[in-house]
Amino acid sequence: MPGLHSRIQAAAKASGATVIVPGNVYIFGAQTPLPWGPQSTHAASNPLGRLRIEMEQSYRRNGVRTIVLRAGDFIDTEASGNWLDKMILPKLGKGWLIYPGDLDAVHAWAYLPDLARAAVALAERRNDLAPFEDVGFAGYTLTARQMAGILSDIAGLDVSAQKMSWWPLHLTRPFWPMARCLIEMRYLWDLPHLLDGTRLNELCPGLPQTPVEEALRAAAAPWLPGGNAAKVQSITRSTQTSR
């Protein structure tokens, strides 16, 4: 990652471009008070957190015009290899939501179409911004049980949140490097957290937010039972076209 970002910075300095960095919550650490925002301490001590802190600091240090748009875990409109489609939703048709952490801990989520709109809005204002802007995207703040309740209404069945077993990931650590990274960031699934979207609202007031029910409906479509999946996909396509 450091090598990739050094090349991005060199290209941006040569061209005068502004870089929009998709920031995450790795930088804060378990002891940083909530909500997490631009003024929050970057106190992470684990390797991935420290790597992210150094990456963001390098943009500020090297004088590259930068917008860090910081969000939680992604809710996508299609299966894309994230936590939702790999672990949390695949057993939805059986009435199970398989969750990696504390079922009652709030967690930050970002619907990708909304996040993309925020990125475009910030890009359009880039000449009015400070050389380095740290912008939080509040998105949705949900517990696993709240998510299960919303999905129950969407799927038309009783969805129960169940805790995921981490033992399979521990067993794969010797031959799958990604497992080590996932286990390193496990604490975020047990640690209640939310993002402060005040700065984004100041810079881009009035940005529309998709209702959480619609976002989860789009993400859950492949795993809904029978005709519900086709119906949801049709609704999602219709909604996206209307926008």
- CATH number assigned to the domain comprising residue 40: 3.40.50.720
Domain with 198 in it:
2-242
Question: Quick one: which H or E segment has residue 20?
Answer: strand 19-23
- Amino acid 105 reads A
User: What is the model's pLDDT at position 64?
Assistant: 96
Question: How much is the pLDDT for 226?
Answer: 67
Distances (CA, A) of 41 to 27, 35, 38, 130, 211: 8, 11, 8, 20, 31
What's the domain count of the chain?
1
Please enumerate in sequence order all residues whose Cβ is within 8 A of that of 29, keeping only pairs 6 or more positions apart, or say none: 41, 42, 43, 44, 45, 46, 49
What are the helix (H) ranges across the chain?
2-15, 47-61, 83, 112-124, 144-155, 167-172, 177-184, 187-190, 198-203, 212-220, 227-242
Alpha carbon 131 to its chain's center: 24
Terminal CA-CA length for the chain? 35
Integer Cα distance of 115 and 75 in angstroms: 10
The residue ranges of the chain whose pLDDT is under 70 are 226-243
Query: In this predicted structure, what is the pLDDT of residue 50?
Result: 97
Radius of gyration over every alpha carbon of the chain, rounded to an integer in angstroms: 19
CB-side exposure of 5: number of CA atoms within 13 Å?
21
Instruction: Give CA–CA dist 176/226, Å, rounded.
Output: 35
201: which 2 tokens? 């609202």
